């Protein structure tokens, strides 16, 4: 498959260079070795490896799920081959320090590189992506020795990583975790418990698997305050780092999913007694950082993982859009409305207004979402490398408030894009001969994992909007208003859209005050999901106004560039005309402090 069916290289160039001006980052010491050319080379490499090694077995991995024979997990050989190719690119350490073998790429560029793999094969890409999150967490919170022992082999592609949070009785409610860790005399711990939904939890794709596990130390406080984080490898290492005895981490079974089928998803038992490392019960674990800091540490990974989920959702939406566009251009069916002569040739379906509607909607969703994901990547670079501390703080705060939106908006609307991609294909889209049905199934996981849609809503309205006295929301609205002000000065169409965005931003401010002014958290949070969805649409409208300004700054080129820019302009229009107005009734409901769901008694169902 050509990489042009995965993402648009032209769009990435526009977003990264014309809009976000990433080449300027090379003025900073951390990125001084880079240039626009090295960025583009990394993108081209990603596109090529994704198309040649990942896209090629996307369907095969879906049709032939991993199996467990009671002894080990089997995956189709193309997965291992793709992961080896990925390890060769060095992208696992794309953003890491050169000291540990990293490429020191800006996060925004790395995000664009990784999106190619998510578009090509989201379930094979999950293995290195989980490993990446794991390694980054250890780089931030692990000791030098832990980094040396566990991160280096991950960067080299020899070890893979997981995150083990959920338990059968505690999915969204981490306060109810019961896995426990018993301290040993030698400073290690022994872990006992069952973990659920562990992606990449067992396989033969790497020499070892480094589990990051949340568990309770004896005597700690109840709830989330008593959770600590442990490294629990599948295979223990000898003193010299060589693979030693099997740790007591046992695969109970594989979950069989609707999509994402190529990624093993497991139930794992820790300390069940199947293996008794060094003759004693329990899975050997190593505490990361201080006791009882597990949740905060894991949130470090989780925030990154949430943006990653949004990026994956975007990539799946994007590739579905491109495939449905290609289909619409070549599939003849029917005639224009005005042509009632059945003897004239049929036209390609892209000629029908309703098909163009479905394409334009997809375009506005997936390009809007991609803009947000890259904007977040750019913020992360700002947070890490801005010369002035106040700028780093601002970036951190803005990133924090945007995270639930960057996770949930693409998960909702790029899934909707995949639904439209099926519809454009008609009956063919409903068959497994075309990719779009798989994208739709794969994408359906994204509103669930790493915190459900409803959890993101509570995070936004219950935490992010109130933190630091509301400074995060204030900063977001101020940043959006700054764009509107620039657009206002630009006059023309941008000024018109700026006016509409300004109205929407005012409604966000009013509604937020009203909700939190009730003094009744239950009432305030009753419609948190509506709030998340309305604010999400305002944020994406902002992303489209930003893109429109970048278009207007591009002058008046001719040829394919003119078409590209006209398409951006049209998608911006579409979003402001067809999408942003959806928020009107949502804001009305929020403002009315609607109690419909709150007042519904269970016995009424």
Point out the residues that are catalytic. Answer: 450
CA dist 412 and 220 (Å) reads: 38
Does the protein bind its own copies through residue 578 (CB under 8 A)? Answer: yes
How many Cα neighbours within 13 Å face the side chain of 399? 25
What's the closest the beta carbon of residue 57 comes to its own copies, in angstroms?
18
3-state secondary structure of 246: strand
Does the protein bind its own copies through residue 337 (CB under 8 A)? Answer: yes
Instruction: Please name which of 505, 507, 509 lies closest in space to residue 541, comparing C-alpha atoms.
Output: 505
How many Cα neighbours within 13 Å face the side chain of 414? 36
Among residues 9, 17, 28, 335, the one that binds its own copies under rule CB under 8 A: 335
Among residues 35, 88, 346, 510, the one that binds its own copies under rule CB under 8 A: 346
Does the protein bind its own copies through residue 566 (CB under 8 A)? Answer: yes
Q: Which is nearer to its own copies, 401 or 528 (CB)?
A: 528
3-state secondary structure of 197: strand
Q: Which is nearer to its own copies, 187 or 222 (CB)?
A: 222
Among residues 10, 357, 463, 513, the one that binds its own copies under rule CB under 8 A: 357
CA dist 50 and 119 (Å) reads: 8
Does the protein bind its own copies through residue 354 (CB under 8 A)? Answer: yes
Among residues 89, 537, 574, 590, the one that binds its own copies under rule CB under 8 A: 574
Question: Are the C-beta atoms of residues 533 and 605 closer than 8 Å to each other?
Answer: no
CA dist 295 and 340 (Å) reads: 65
Q: Which is nearer to its own copies, 274 or 566 (CB)?
A: 566
Q: Which is nearer to its own copies, 187 or 519 (CB)?
A: 519
CA dist 3 and 189 (Å) reads: 47
- The kind and range of the H/E element at 321 are helix 294-330
Q: Which is nearer to its own copies, 478 or 588 (CB)?
A: 588
Q: Which is nearer to its own copies, 489 or 578 (CB)?
A: 578
Does the protein bind its own copies through residue 352 (CB under 8 A)? Answer: yes
Q: Candidates 38-46, 98-106, 281-289, 353-361 — which segment interacts with its own copies by CB under 8 A?
A: 353-361
Does the protein bind its own copies through residue 596 (CB under 8 A)? Answer: yes
How many Cα neighbours within 13 Å face the side chain of 111? 32
CA dist 154 and 129 (Å) reads: 11
Alpha helices in 121-256 (DSSP H): 122-141, 144-146, 152-155
Does the protein bind its own copies through residue 236 (CB under 8 A)? Answer: no
Q: 């993402």: which residue's tokens?
A: 7
What's the closest the beta carbon of residue 8 comes to its own copies, in angstroms?
10
**Which residues pair with residue 189 across a beta bridge?**
183, 285
Q: Which is nearer to its own copies, 254 or 509 (CB)?
A: 254
Among residues 37, 69, 145, 599, the one that binds its own copies under rule CB under 8 A: 599
Near its own copies in 274-313, by CB under 8 A: none
Instruction: Please name which of 305, 309, 314 lies closest in space to residue 12, comparing C-alpha atoms.
Output: 314
Question: Strands 227-233, 283-287: parallel, antiparallel or unpaired by DSSP?
Answer: antiparallel
State residue 558 phi and psi, 5-degree precision: -120, 175
Near its own copies in 491-550, by CB under 8 A: 521-522, 525-529
Does the protein bind its own copies through residue 7 (CB under 8 A)? Answer: no
State residue 241 phi and psi, 5-degree precision: 90, 0
Q: Which is nearer to its own copies, 1 or 170 (CB)?
A: 170
Question: Are the C-beta atoms of residues 47 and 116 closer than 8 Å to each other?
Answer: yes
Q: Candidates 15-23, 52-60, 238-246, 594-602 — which segment interacts with its own copies by CB under 8 A?
A: 594-602
3-state secondary structure of 348: strand
Near its own copies in 362-401, by CB under 8 A: 363
How many Cα neighbours within 13 Å face the side chain of 169? 7
Near its own copies in 425-484, by CB under 8 A: 426-427, 429-433, 437, 440-441, 444-445, 447-449, 452-454, 457-458, 462
Question: Are the C-beta atoms of residues 414 and 444 closer than 8 Å to each other?
Answer: no
Question: Are the C-beta atoms of residues 34 and 26 closer than 8 Å to each other?
Answer: yes
Q: Candidates 31-39, 113-121, 132-140, 415-423 — which segment interacts with its own copies by CB under 8 A?
A: 415-423
Does the protein bind its own copies through residue 594 (CB under 8 A)? Answer: yes
What's the closest the beta carbon of residue 320 comes to its own copies, in angstroms?
13
Does the protein bind its own copies through residue 175 (CB under 8 A)? Answer: yes
Question: Are the C-beta atoms of residues 285 and 232 closer than 8 Å to each other?
Answer: yes
Does the protein bind its own copies through residue 603 (CB under 8 A)? Answer: yes
Q: Which is nearer to its own copies, 461 or 487 (CB)?
A: 461
Near its own copies in 240-269, by CB under 8 A: 255-259
Does the protein bind its own copies through residue 411 (CB under 8 A)? Answer: no
Question: Are the C-beta atoms of residues 282 and 213 closer than 8 Å to each other?
Answer: no
Among residues 89, 166, 408, 443, the one that binds its own copies under rule CB under 8 A: 166
Among residues 77, 273, 334, 492, the one that binds its own copies under rule CB under 8 A: 334
Binding mask 182-211 for its own copies (x = CB under 8 A): --------------xx--------------
For the record, the structure tokens of 465 come out as 């909007």
Q: Which is nearer to its own copies, 82 or 267 (CB)?
A: 267
Among residues 1, 81, 170, 296, the one that binds its own copies under rule CB under 8 A: 170
State residue 235 phi and psi, 5-degree precision: -120, 130
Crossing angle of helices 294-330 and 107-120, in 10° steps, is 60
């Amino acid at each position: 498959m050509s990489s042009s069916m995965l993402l648009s290289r032209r769009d990435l160039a526009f977003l990264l260079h014309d809009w976000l001006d990433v080449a300027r980052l090379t003025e900073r010491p951390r990125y001084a070795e880079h240039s626009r050319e090295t960025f583009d080379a990394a993108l081209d490499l990603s596109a090529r490896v994704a198309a040649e090694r990942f896209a090629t077995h996307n369907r095969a991995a879906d049709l032939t799920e991993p199996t467990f024979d009671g002894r080990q997990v089997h995956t189709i050989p193309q997965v291992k081959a793709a992961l080896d190719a990925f390890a060769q690119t060095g992208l696992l350490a794309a953003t890491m320090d050169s000291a540990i073998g990293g490429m020191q790429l800006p996060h925004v560029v790395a995000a664009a590189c990784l999106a190619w793999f998510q578009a090509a094969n989201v379930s094979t890409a999950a293995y290195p992506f989980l490993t990446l999150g794991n390694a980054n967490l250890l780089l931030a919170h692990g000791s030098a020795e832990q980094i040396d022992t566990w991160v280096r082999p991950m960067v080299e592609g020899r070890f893979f990583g997981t995150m083990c949070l959920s338990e059968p009785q505690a999915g969204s409610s981490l306060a109810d975790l019961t896995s426990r860790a018993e301290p040993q005399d030698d400073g290690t711990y022994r872990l006992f418990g069952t973990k659920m939904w562990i992606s990449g939890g067992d396989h033969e794709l790497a020499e070892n698997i480094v589990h990051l596990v949340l568990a309770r130390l004896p005597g700690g406080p109840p709830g989330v305050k008593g959770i600590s984080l442990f490294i629990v490898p599948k295979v223990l290492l000898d003193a010299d780092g060589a693979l030693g005895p099997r740790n007591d981490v046992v695969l109970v079974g594989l979950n069989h999913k609707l999509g994402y089928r190529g990624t093993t998803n497991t139930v794992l038992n820790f300390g069940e007694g199947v293996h008794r490392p060094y003759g004693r019960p329990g899975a050997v674990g190593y505490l990361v950082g201080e006791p009882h800091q597990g949740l905060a540490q894991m949130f470090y990974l989780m925030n990154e993982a949430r943006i990653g989920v949004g990026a994956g959702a975007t990539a799946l939406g994007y590739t579905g859009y491109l495939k449905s566009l290609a289909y619409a251009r070549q599939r003849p069916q029917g005639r224009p409305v005005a042509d009632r002569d059945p003897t004239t040739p049929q036209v390609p379906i892209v000629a029908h207004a309703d098909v163009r509607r479905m394409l334009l909607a997809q375009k506005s969703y997936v390009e809007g979402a991609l803009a947000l994901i890259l904007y977040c990547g750019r913020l992360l670079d700002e947070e890490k490398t801005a010369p002035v501390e106040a700028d780093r703080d601002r970036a951190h705060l803005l990133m924090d408030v945007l995270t639930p939106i960057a996770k949930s908006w693409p998960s909702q609307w790029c899934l909707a894009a995949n639904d439209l991609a099926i519809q454009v294909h008609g009956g063919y889209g409903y068959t497994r001969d075309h990719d779009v049905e798989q994208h739709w199934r794969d994408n359906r996981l994204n509103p669930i994992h790493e915190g459900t849609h409803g959890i993101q809503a509570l995070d936004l309205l219950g935490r992010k909007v109130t933190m630091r006295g509301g400074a995060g929301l204030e900063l977001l609205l101020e940043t959006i208003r700054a764009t509107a002000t620039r657009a206002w000065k630009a006059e023309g169409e941008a000024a018109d859209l700026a006016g509409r965005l300004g109205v929407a931003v005012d409604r966000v401010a009013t509604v937020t005050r009203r909700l939190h002014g009730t003094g009744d958290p239950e009432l305030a949070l009753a419609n948190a999901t509506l709030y998340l969805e309305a604010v999400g649409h305002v944020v994406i409208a902002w992303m489209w106004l930003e893109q429109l300004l970048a278009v207007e700054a591009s002058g008046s080129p001719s040829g394919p560039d003119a078409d590209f820019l006209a398409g951006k302009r049209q998608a911006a229009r579409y979003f402001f005309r067809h999408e942003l107005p959806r928020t009107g009734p949502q804001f009305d409901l929020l403002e009315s402090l609607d109690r419909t769901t709150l007042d519904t008694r269970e016995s009424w169902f």
